[in-house]
Each structure stands twice: as structure tokens, then as C-alpha cells.
Structure 1
Amino acid sequence: MHRMDNRGDFLQLLGPYVSIEILNHLDDPSDLVRACSVSRSWHRFVIENGTCKQLFLKRFPEIDNEAHIIELNNMIGPTKLSSDNSTEWERLKRDHRVYAFLLAQALSPSIRTDCLSEPISASSTDNYPDESIRNTLEPRDRVEGSPSYWSSGGENDPNVPETLTYKLVNNLCVVTEIRVQPFLAYFQYGFPIYSSKAVRFRMGYPRRPLEFNNDIKDALLASHKWLDEITWTYTSPEFPMAQENCLQAFKLPEPVLGIGGILQVELLGRVQRQEMDELYYICVSHVQVLGRPLLQPFDIEVPDPSGSCALNYNLKTEAIPSHMHGFTDISMQLLGNGAVVADHESDEEPSA
């Protein structure tokens, strides 16, 4: 690098503490690309001060709760600092690489509408299997001429809530919006709509693997006791629900990183009484989750029953998911070279 006049370099003028504060207020990864590209000293400054990590935690604060950590095959995480400067620099570069790649996946412009994988349980079901939670994954409210919906059990008290719990398509998934469609009972007099008064959403991870027996009925109806084994990392605000037969969209205030792949829909309050038994029910025909699954090389691990959770980064996973190809240039520039794979890291730095 040619010798430069530092009189215009605010890192030199303001000093490290103020400069770190300024960089930590960046909101766009492309700003980090620009900062890394200014000079070798700026590139090193961004890496040494964990700016990618700070931006990621600012965007997804839930990852900083419940003692979540990042591990690179046990090389990044709560590790002891080495007195060897070169070893510490390699650790910082690996840390930077992981969070840059996380940012690239989590902030990809590609949104999927099929982020639900399978149902886990319903807090109650009126007529199983005809009114099973499985029906809520079917976008149509009629299948082969028969109604397709989930129905709760009947209650005298309209304030009794219900829950529907699902598995997301991946253990790490950025969720932006959840859609719920109440069911219109077209076969009942007056065409009543069995909506809830409001909805709320929770995301979390199981403290031990979810294991069901071979009886699907027992799994779906009794597995709600597994909810005691879930550590919830996020709870949304409460959203009012309209008593309308349409797919109602509930956009989260900020994109949320679902850690562990469990999503729960809380249906709060009942508005419709069934004429034949005068009990209150909630019925849902369809649930849809919009988001961005974080694919390999990331996954989570629950190392012990204490409730702590670790994010693991597989160093040997080289494939870049196809949906990321339009956004990987950001992460690649953040990494300082054209490779995203940590196994083949280059020592090249950006030129001034």
C-alpha cells in the first residue's frame, strides 16, 4: 500500500473509541463493504472490532439472549484470548467471516412463503383427524369437496386461548410475516366465521429432540406436553384479528431470527359461538410463514438440558445456496476476497 496522508482519515483523527461507535451505528452491510474497501487499515479495523457481529446482533437481538454463541467447530465462541497475535488475528477473521455470511443469508432479498415444514401439536382438536392441525398447511379450505380446517374444542368461556405449534423448514429461519386464515363454516346456518380475537407468535428451540411414537393421533394430540421442553427466544406483540374469511397478514415489527425451528401461533380469545351446542370455538383453515431459511453451513445444537443453545458453523460446507447468489457479493467483499469458505481463506487484503 502506498503511503497515505492520514489527515483525512477519521479513524486517525477521532481515535478508536469514537470510530468504533460510528461504525457500530451502520445499518446496511453494504456500508461495511465500503468501509472494508477504503484501505488495509480500515479493513483490519472493521475485523478487529467485530463490526459485522455488532451489525448482526443489532438486526437480530434475540441471538444475543439465552447465552447463544457462535462456534466454528469449537474455534469461535467463548474462547481464551491467545498471546500469539497471529493466532488471535486468524480467530478474528474467522469470526468476521461467519457473521458476514450470516448477514448475507439473513438479509437476502429472497423471501419464501413456504417456511412451515410440519405441524407438531394443537392445544385441542374437536374432531380428529377430520379437523386436524395438518389441514392448516393446505392452502385450500375445501379438498375433494370436503372442508379442510382445524377446529379447537368447544368452551363456555370465550377467553380460553388455543395454540398451534409447527416446525419451520430449518432450525435457523428469519421470519418476517405470518399469515392466518380463519375458517368460514359454509355448511352452518349464517356462514359463521370462527376467528380468534387476536393472535401472537412465539419462536424457540427444544431442549431435547422431539420424538413422537408411531401413532400420529397420539403425537399430534398429546405432544403439547413437549411445549414444556421448549425455550422460547421470541414473543411477538399481540395482533388483533378480523372476523373475516381471508388470509390475514401479520407483519412482525422487525425480521426475527427463529432459533431452533419451532413456531407457535397463539390464538387469543373467541368470538363465535356454535349454534348447536352454544360453545365457543376457534377454527383456522390456513397458516403461512414468510421468511428466509438460513441453510448450510449453519445449524444449532443444544449441548445439554440446561437450556443453552449454540450456533454451529460447518467449516467444510462449501456450497452457496442458489437463492443467495444475487447477494453473496456483499459477503464476499466483507471477507476481503472472493471465497466464502473458511477452509480456503486468502491472506490478501483490499488495496488502498
Structure 2
Amino acid sequence: MESRMDFFNWLDYDALMKILLCLDDPADLVRVSSVSRSWRHFVVTNGLSRQLCIKMFPTLQRLDHVVEPSRCVKDITEVGCSRFVEDENLGVEHRAFAFLTRSCKTLPLRECIGEAISASSTDNYPDESVRNTLEPHERVGRRPSYWSSKGQNKSAVPETLVYKLASDICVVSEINIKPFQAYFQWGSPIYSAKFVRFRCGHPNVPMDGPMSEPCDVCPAEKFTWTYTSPEFPMAQENRLQNFKLPDPILCIGGILMIELLGRVQKQTMDGLFYICISHVQVMGRTLSPAFGVEILEPSGCFTLNALSYEPTLPEKPSPNAYLQGRIRDLEQILNLLRDQGVVVEEYDWNGDEEEVDDEFEEDFAL
């Protein structure tokens, strides 16, 4: 113990940086900064927490600056010492990135979809709306629940589904997709895609409320995509298929797009190719309410708001979100019919069940 020494004082700057940049566990970097004041000063002033975060999530390269809204910026700037202000800003970054990396490692995986935004096409809206993909069951009441594209003569025509995640900053690790099997058609065909690909990004236009769909404008004009996954083959099977990303992705802006590439199934009735999806899950970690982001247009950079350092779990989305979407769809239809002078009568839910079943079979008969 008498011969102990601080090896930070014996190694030059480049050697120390090379050693510490080899750390890939955020907890190890926090432990290093807790050894002594000199070690913490070295970690903070050289932005090692930020560099580790960028190595884990390259989308953080677009970060402009970090803000702690709870701190009084006026008091800091009135000190009058630029060195003090710089040290304070470095300390804010260190705390924010240390907690960000910890949250990305320790928060439990959960479903991250907040709402369905749009589809590139919809065959029968709203009965086959993209909102149906949020429902885990293949049937709701007596009717099937799925999204269907419009039919195409060529099998190579792609489709896209766009979703808003539960938070503007999420770590997405895998996406699960279940193709729809049309059990009411001859042979029970499965309308899967050949391949799938995923994009993460942020909107270019304000999104104060739900966007109308089907989407008539190319999503590329509404969103900026900061990540594109490789293509994954999709099986023509009626099961929830797992597509795990090569590495977890930090989605800044909370928008995810699913690209369905290629069609495999024709419909016997019209001879056209369709893609139908029964259910979509996005698994990851939502980082709100601890963090928020503000996109800085037109540069596409963003501000990271460190709102809290408390390890609280985010609130789960309301289980009635899907039903609320279906109610909105029905209200739109009823209002449209009333505007056209159609008398809308109340449905008799206590009627003959056999009569309802007959009507259901007629709707989906070839």
C-alpha cells in the first residue's frame, strides 16, 4: 500500500484515451469516474460518456447539444467565466450520457408502438385499415382484423406501413410481423411479402394529431430517415415472425416505417397481387419521461433534453387505443353518410346470430 500510485499520472494522454475508449460497458465508465476527482475530471472533460454513446448508437452523431431544463441557465451564464460555463456544460453531457447508456441497458423490453400513422395503400378503408395491425387477434367480434394493400398486376410493387412510437426517443431492437391468412377464401391463402426492411426517423411536418390514411403522398416527403436496416426474408406462414436488428437502434424522432418488398400471393377473384398484415409489434425500450428530443430543422440535428435522472418506468399505452381508433373510423363513416342524406339506423345487436353469420359469409365469399 505504501508504494501505491495513480497510473493516470504515469501515462500520457494518448495512452489513457486508448485504454478508456476500449471500455464498452457504461457501468465501467461510471466506476472509473468515481475513483477520484482527477479521474472524473479526465472522463468528463474528454467527453468519454458521449463517445461511448455514439459508439453504441451512431444516430447520436446528429446531436447538437444537451439541455437540463431543471437547471437555471441564467445563474450559470451570469457567473461571467467562460471556463466555468464550459465545465458545467461538460458535466451536463456526462450526466445525461451516463444515464442514457444505463437506461438503454437496464430498462425492460416492451412494445413501443404508440399509433399507426399511414399505409402506402389500403384496399377497403377503414375495414382494412393499418390500425388493424395493432390488434393482436385475427378476429375482432365476428370480423377478421387485418390491413390489406390495393391489388397490383406486378408482384414487385412494394408497400409501406408507418407507425409513431410511444416515445420520441426509443431503442428499437426487433420487429415482429404476422402475415394475414384469408381463411374465408378458397385454399386459405397467406398474403405475405417476400422481404421486409425497416427505417427509423423523424417527421418533417408537425404531427399534432392522427394523420389521415391511406397515405397519398410518398412518406419520403413527410419524414427524414436516419437509419435503414438490411432486408429480411419473410416466410409465407401465418405466424408472428421475428426480425431482429443487427444492433439495437436509437430512434430519434419516434417514427418507424416497415417496407414490404415483393408480393407472393394472387387473389383468385381478380388475379391481382396483394399484401395483407394481421399484426405488428415493435419491441424495444422507450426513454421517456427521462429524455425528450427537439428536432432542429432544416439541419436535421436535434437537442437532447435530460428531463429526469430518476429510473422510472414509462407509462404503458392505453389498452383501448385500438378500439378508440376503430370508433373514430366508424364515426367518420356515419358522418359521411349523414352528409349525403342517408338515414342511419341503430344496429340491433340482439338480432338472430344465424342471420349475422349469413351476412358475414356473403361479405367474404368469392
Pick the TM interval, shorter chain.
0.7 to 0.9
Say how many residue pairs are matched: 307
Describe the shift of the 1:254–1:41 C-alpha distance in structure 2 as closer, same or farther (beyond 3 A): same
Distance 2:313 2:3 in 1: 41
1:321 maps to 2:312: yes
- Partner-residue secondary structure (3-state), 1:200: strand
- Partner-residue secondary structure (3-state), 1:220: coil
Cα drift, residue 145 of structure 1: 2.1
1:86 maps to 2:81: no
Residue of structure 1 in register with 2:186 after alignment: 189
Choose the corresponding residue for 1:71, options 66, 70, 79: 66
Percent same amino acid among aligned pairs? Answer: 50
Cα drift, residue 14 of structure 1: 2.5
Letter of the 1:34 counterpart: R
Cα drift, residue 225 of structure 1: 4.3
Residue of structure 1 in register with 2:46 after alignment: 49
Residue of structure 1 in register with 2:328 after alignment: none
Distance 2:296 2:251 in 1: 18
Letter of the 2:63 counterpart: H
Letter of the 1:88 counterpart: E
Indicate if the aligned counterparts of 1:296 and 1:314 stay in contact, CA closer than 8 A: no
Distance 2:194 2:148 in 1: 15
Residue of structure 2 in register with 1:198 after alignment: 195
Choose the corresponding residue for 1:134, options 131, 148, 151: 131
Residue of structure 2 in register with 1:331 after alignment: none
Choose the corresponding residue for 2:304, options 308, 312, 333: 312
- Partner-residue secondary structure (3-state), 2:215: helix
Describe the shift of the 1:68–1:186 C-alpha distance in structure 2 as closer, same or farther (beyond 3 A): same
Describe the shift of the 1:24–1:151 C-alpha distance in structure 2 as closer, same or farther (beyond 3 A): same
Distance 2:49 2:123 in 1: 49
Describe the shift of the 1:261–1:224 C-alpha distance in structure 2 as closer, same or farther (beyond 3 A): farther
Cα drift, residue 132 of structure 1: 0.7
Alignment of 1:236-255 (within 5 A): 236-255=229-248
- Partner-residue secondary structure (3-state), 2:41: helix
**What are the Cα deviations for residues 268-318 of structure 1, in whole angstroms up to 9, with x where unaligned?**
0000111111110000000000000011242122333x1423123255x46
Cα drift, residue 263 of structure 1: 0.5
Scaled by the length of structure 1, the TM-score of the pair is: 0.81
Cα drift, residue 30 of structure 1: 1.7
Cα drift, residue 54 of structure 1: 0.8
CA root-mean-square deviation = 2.5
Cα drift, residue 208 of structure 1: 2.5
**What are the Cα deviations for residues 247-273 of structure 1, in whole angstroms up to 9, with x where unaligned?**
000000001001101100000000011
- Partner-residue secondary structure (3-state), 1:222: coil
Residue of structure 2 in register with 1:285 after alignment: 278
- Partner-residue secondary structure (3-state), 2:214: helix
Describe the shift of the 1:15–1:198 C-alpha distance in structure 2 as closer, same or farther (beyond 3 A): same
Describe the shift of the 1:23–1:285 C-alpha distance in structure 2 as closer, same or farther (beyond 3 A): same
Distance 1:323 1:297 in 2: 9
Alignment of 1:1-352 (within 5 A): 5-6=4-5, 9-64=6-61, 67-72=62-67, 84-112=82-110, 114-210=111-207, 219-222=212-215, 224-225=217-218, 227-304=220-297, 306-314=298-306, 317=308, 319-322=310-313
Cα drift, residue 129 of structure 1: 1.0
Indicate if the aligned counterparts of 1:300 and 1:309 stay in contact, CA closer than 8 A: no
**What are the Cα deviations for residues 142-198 of structure 1, in whole angstroms up to 9, with x where unaligned?**
111211000000011000000000100000000000000000111111111000000
Deviates more, 1:285-294 or 1:31-40: 31-40
Distance 1:230 1:178 in 2: 20
Distance 2:306 2:2 in 1: 39
| Structure with higher RCO (Cα < 8 A, 6+ apart) | 1
Distance 1:106 1:318 in 2: 13
Scaled by the length of structure 2, the TM-score of the pair is: 0.78
Residue of structure 2 in register with 1:330 after alignment: none
Distance 1:253 1:263 in 2: 16
Distance 2:224 2:97 in 1: 24
Cα drift, residue 211 of structure 1: 5.3
Name structure 1 gaps, 5 residues minimum.
Answer: 325-352
- Partner-residue secondary structure (3-state), 1:277: coil
Cα drift, residue 24 of structure 1: 1.4
Indicate if the aligned counterparts of 1:182 and 1:247 stay in contact, CA closer than 8 A: yes
